[in-house]
Structure 1
Amino acid sequence: MGLKAALSKPFAAYVVWRINRWKNNAVAAQQEVLHHLVAEAGNTAFGKDHHFEQIRNYKDFKKHVPVRDYEELRPYIDRVVAGEADVLWKGKPAYFAKTSGTTSGAKYIPISKESMPEHIKAARNALLTYIHETGNADFVNGKMIFLQGSPVLTKKNGINVGRLSGIVANLVPAYLQKNRLPSYQTNCIEDWEEKVDAIVAETIDQNMTLISGIPPWVQMYFDRLTEKSDGKKIKDIFKNFELFVYGGVNYEPYRAKIENSIGKKIDAIETYPASEGFIAYQDSQHDKSLLLLVQAGIFYEFIPASEYYNENPSRLSLEEVELDTNYALILNTNAGLWGYSIGDTIKFVSKNPYKIMVTGRIKHYISAFGEHVIGEEVEQSLLSVANELGVGITEFTVAPQVNPEAGELPYHEWFIEFSAPPADLSAFSKKVDQALQKKNIYYFDLIEGKILQPLVIRSLQKDAFVTYMRAEGKLGGQNKVPRLSNDRKIADGLIHLTRKI
């Protein structure tokens, strides 16, 4: 065991001891965070506009601070981007994380000098928690790769701007710098396919022990490695590869293919980072749920997903949540996001400690006929049948077809790229449809009532989603294909890539 590995174990034990202190007192920790945030931002423009001086508790907070999405909070954010200080948080942001907006171009998410360390600490603690639980620390002596966006930052009125992963790349602790790949020069390559090829060339002969990234782009990296090494499995290329760290999407649809590429099962850690804050991470190899980070500069609120579009939905603090209920996640952060609807839905699977599963996006659903089918239902229905029949899924997305050919009932149209296709696509489709009916009573009623016909699956050509994302200028990095859409934009972009059966 190397020196780093040996030193990491007592440090991991200390960090886990500190984590347990707030993990076992989560409600009290959240109350402290709320009071601290309100006190720190009292003299900002937002704090004055929303009477922070009158806020004594969560009830007061809800009275004065409405829930907003990015567009509704944008008048304040635009003032911050223009260079004004003390608007949403004291002073000016340390960075802007630039993300893709859905309605009006780029979004600029402020990151403060108080919030940035929480991103670094959470990523570090996810690894230390793993070390403490498993006793496995050897990976820290090998090479680690983080598939991420370019670390090149630009300036916006004197403030550094970049993708979150690119910002974080500039802040990797010194003790990891020598172990980290790819090189800075390679990481700066903007074209994703060119970048992956360069990463393969740089890493194929290295002692890679930890690999991290969004699963579909990690799969692309694995595919290129296998091609370059005449068909070898990843375990034979990187003999000491021990840990896979991922986030951004549900891993389950990718698990089988990634494990097949590796050639063995491997320990994995799921993380839940966002530009708005690092929200949760998997803290046990025996439990796939994520530990909610209640003392990381974020005060959380939860709106039942079923009420989200109501005029006055319920708005709950941590101590009020129930298990197995889908909630829209609302953030209040030490970067100045207030009542901020991040767009994700989660559910609690434990309240002692508070642990969550990410279930989808509040705007990513299908409800063309009132069925309100969500991502979790679609993923579980598909994967349960695929696993039963030995079918491999590379990627998929679902959209409504509300204007079918004359004489046909409307239906849900599934676009699936198979790595191992079903022997009988019609029988496979029928079983997936039946599984979805069991998951969603409204969908069942629409099928039974002959309002909808059973779902239709379109089998796509190999690399169809890569082709689509390339055409959209969204290949690689932090970009992800939405599982569900309530419109036809993605579907219409994929229809010409359908594979002939």
Structure 2
Amino acid sequence: MSIKSIAAKVFAKHIRNKINKWASNPEATQKKVFKELLEKAKNTQFGLDHHFTEINSYKEFASKVPVRDYEELKMYVDKMVAGEENILWPGKPLYYAKTSGTTSGAKYIPLTKESMPTHINAARNAILCYIAETGKSKFVDGKMIFLQGSPELTDKNGVKLGRLSGIVAHFVPSYLQKNRLPSLKTNCIEDWETKVDAIVGETKEEDMTVISGIPSWVQMYFEKLQQTTGKKVGDLFKNFDLFIYGGVNYEPYRAKFENLIGRKVDSIELYPASEGFFAFQDKQGDKGMLLQLDSGIFYEFIKSEEFFQDNPIRLTIGEVEVGVNYVMIVSTTAGLWGYNLGDTVQFTSVKPYKLIVSGRIKHFISAFGEHVIAKEVEQAMQEATSKTSSRITEFTVAPQITPDGQELPYHEWFIEFEKEPEDLQKFSEILDRSMQDQNSYYLDLIDGKILQQLKIKKIPENGFQQYMKSIGKLGGQNKLPRLSNDRKIAEILEKL
């Protein structure tokens, strides 16, 4: 065992103990974060506009600071991007993370000297918790790859601008630099397909021990490796034992990954975003991710079913319940205040606070009042693939409101199979039964003959890659929506 491996175990135990301290005192930890945020930002334009100096309780904060999404906060962000200081947070940001927007086009999410370390530390701590739990640390001596966006940055009125994953690449600890792949030159390639080919060329002869990225794009890397070498990924990288991922649920991909690898490997789920690093999986047997309560982020939660009502009730950490779907709201050391991420979460535990990402508040199907969320379709897919020994590459779901003839409406599942089930009708029935078991509204619509059983549209090989490429979102941190409440995606997929 190397010195680095031994040191990693010692450090991992130290970090695990620190995490346990704040995780066992959640409400006190959040109150401390709340007070520090208000004190730090009281003299910013936002703090003055919202009378931070008069706020002495959370109740007063909620009355003075409304819940906003990016579009509603944009008037402040625009001033920052124009070069003004002390707008949402003291001084100027260190970076802007550029992401795809909705009605506002590109979004510029500020990263500050206070918020940036929390992104780095959370990613590090996820790995250290894994070491502390399993005792496995040999992987630190091998090569690690992080599939990410280009680290090249541009300047925006004196502030560096780039993709979050590219910004984070500049903060990889020095002790990992020698182990890290791909090279800077390769990482800077913008075209995703060209980049993946270059990464395959650089890594196929290396001792890869840790691989990280969004599952859909890591899958593409694995497929290219197999095509190039003719070997399973696990045979090519004999010491590859840890997959780190975030962005989408891994479970629909798990069967295909294990087939590509040739064996099972440990995995760690992360919940990072440009707005903050919110949670990570700290135990292998637990799918819930530990909410980062001590990372300069103050959390609020609104029940999803109430979110679009006038003045919905805002809850703090001590008021949430297990199994309820919440929209997560954050205030952060990057200067986001009462900020609606657009994500929905469900708590799996409150001692300590652990959650799963259940979907997006704007990504759902409720064309008939069924309120279907991503977690439900992903669980249904997992059940169907496991019970039929099939494997999928990707899928998405949309409502068919006006079918031909006298047919009842239905949910249409667009699925690209890597291995088709022997009986597609049985597969479809398992999917539909799972949806009925999980969602009582959907069950009532089926029983009431408002909807018929779901239908499957098979997508040809690489069809979803073609779709993502056609909209300029192939690779990087881009993700395919699991659900749409319209047929904009479906209409393109129908033509493949």
Deviation at 1:487, TM superposition (A): 1.2
In structure 1, distance between residues paired with 2:494 and 2:352: 45
Deviation at 1:404, TM superposition (A): 1.4
Identity %: 61
Map 1:168-207 → 2, pairs under 5 A: 168-207=168-207
Residues 331-358 of structure 1, C-alpha deviations (whole Å, 9 max, x = no match)? 1000000000001111111111111111
The one-letter code sitting in structure 2 at the alignment partner of 1:263 is G
In structure 1, distance between residues paired with 2:240 and 2:378: 28
Deviation at 1:17, TM superposition (A): 1.1
In structure 2, distance between residues paired with 1:454 and 1:288: 30
Partner of 1:283: 282
Deviation at 1:382, TM superposition (A): 2.1
The one-letter code sitting in structure 2 at the alignment partner of 1:329 is M
The one-letter code sitting in structure 2 at the alignment partner of 1:291 is L
In structure 1, distance between residues paired with 2:333 and 2:170: 21
Deviation at 1:406, TM superposition (A): 2.6
Partner of 1:418: 417
Partner of 2:456: 457
Partner of 2:109: 109
Alignment pair present for 1:249 and 2:248: yes
Partner of 1:273: 272
Residues 160-215 of structure 1, C-alpha deviations (whole Å, 9 max, x = no match)? 00000000011111111111000000000000000000000000001111100000
In structure 2, distance between residues paired with 1:172 and 1:382: 36
Q: Is the 8 A contact 2:383 2:430 kept in 1?
A: no
Partner of 2:387: 388
In structure 2, distance between residues paired with 1:131 and 1:326: 31
In structure 2, distance between residues paired with 1:376 and 1:303: 18
Partner of 1:40: 40
SS in 1 for 2:171: coil
In structure 2, distance between residues paired with 1:204 and 1:133: 30
In structure 2, distance between residues paired with 1:17 and 1:453: 53
In structure 2, distance between residues paired with 1:496 and 1:398: 16
Deviation at 1:158, TM superposition (A): 1.0
Deviation at 1:431, TM superposition (A): 2.6
The one-letter code sitting in structure 2 at the alignment partner of 1:391 is S
In structure 1, distance between residues paired with 2:295 and 2:147: 24
Deviation at 1:277, TM superposition (A): 0.3
Alignment pair present for 1:7 and 2:7: yes
- With normalisation by structure 1, the TM-score equals 0.98
Deviation at 1:250, TM superposition (A): 0.4
Partner of 2:222: 222
Residues 59-110 of structure 1, C-alpha deviations (whole Å, 9 max, x = no match)? 1110111001111111111111111111101111100000001222110000
Residues 26-70 of structure 1, C-alpha deviations (whole Å, 9 max, x = no match)? 110000000000110000110011110111111111011100111
SS in 2 for 1:166: helix
In structure 2, distance between residues paired with 1:4 and 1:427: 51
The one-letter code sitting in structure 2 at the alignment partner of 1:87 is I
Deviation at 1:427, TM superposition (A): 2.9
In structure 2, distance between residues paired with 1:10 and 1:434: 49
Partner of 1:96: 96
Alignment pair present for 1:354 and 2:344: no
In structure 2, distance between residues paired with 1:283 and 1:97: 26
In structure 2, distance between residues paired with 1:356 and 1:247: 14
Deviation at 1:401, TM superposition (A): 1.1
SS in 2 for 1:373: coil
Alignment pair present for 1:397 and 2:396: yes
Partner of 2:17: 17
The one-letter code sitting in structure 2 at the alignment partner of 1:364 is H
In structure 1, distance between residues paired with 2:276 and 2:122: 10
Partner of 1:324: 323
Map 1:116-155 → 2, pairs under 5 A: 116-155=116-155
> 280-289 or 178-187: which moved more?
280-289
Q: Unaligned stretches of 5+ in structure 1?
A: none
SS in 2 for 1:474: coil
Residues 230-249 of structure 1, C-alpha deviations (whole Å, 9 max, x = no match)? 2x111111111121110000
SS in 2 for 1:85: coil
The one-letter code sitting in structure 2 at the alignment partner of 1:379 is E
SS in 1 for 2:408: coil
SS in 1 for 2:277: strand
In structure 2, distance between residues paired with 1:379 and 1:186: 33
Deviation at 1:424, TM superposition (A): 2.4
The one-letter code sitting in structure 2 at the alignment partner of 1:220 is M
In structure 2, distance between residues paired with 1:24 and 1:46: 33
Deviation at 1:381, TM superposition (A): 1.6
Residues 243-294 of structure 1, C-alpha deviations (whole Å, 9 max, x = no match)? 1110000010011111111111111111000000000000011211100000
In structure 2, distance between residues paired with 1:447 and 1:207: 52
SS in 2 for 1:482: coil
The one-letter code sitting in structure 2 at the alignment partner of 1:482 is P
Deviation at 1:453, TM superposition (A): 1.6
In structure 2, distance between residues paired with 1:310 and 1:104: 23
In structure 2, distance between residues paired with 1:313 and 1:168: 35
SS in 1 for 2:310: coil
SS in 2 for 1:19: helix
SS in 2 for 1:101: coil
In structure 1, distance between residues paired with 2:296 and 2:12: 22
SS in 2 for 1:355: strand
Partner of 2:438: 439
In structure 2, distance between residues paired with 1:195 and 1:343: 30
Partner of 1:236: 235
Deviation at 1:449, TM superposition (A): 1.6
Q: How many residues align?
A: 496
- With normalisation by structure 2, the TM-score equals 0.99
Residues 277-328 of structure 1, C-alpha deviations (whole Å, 9 max, x = no match)? 0000000112111000000010000000111111111100000111110100
> 473-482 or 389-398: which moved more?
389-398
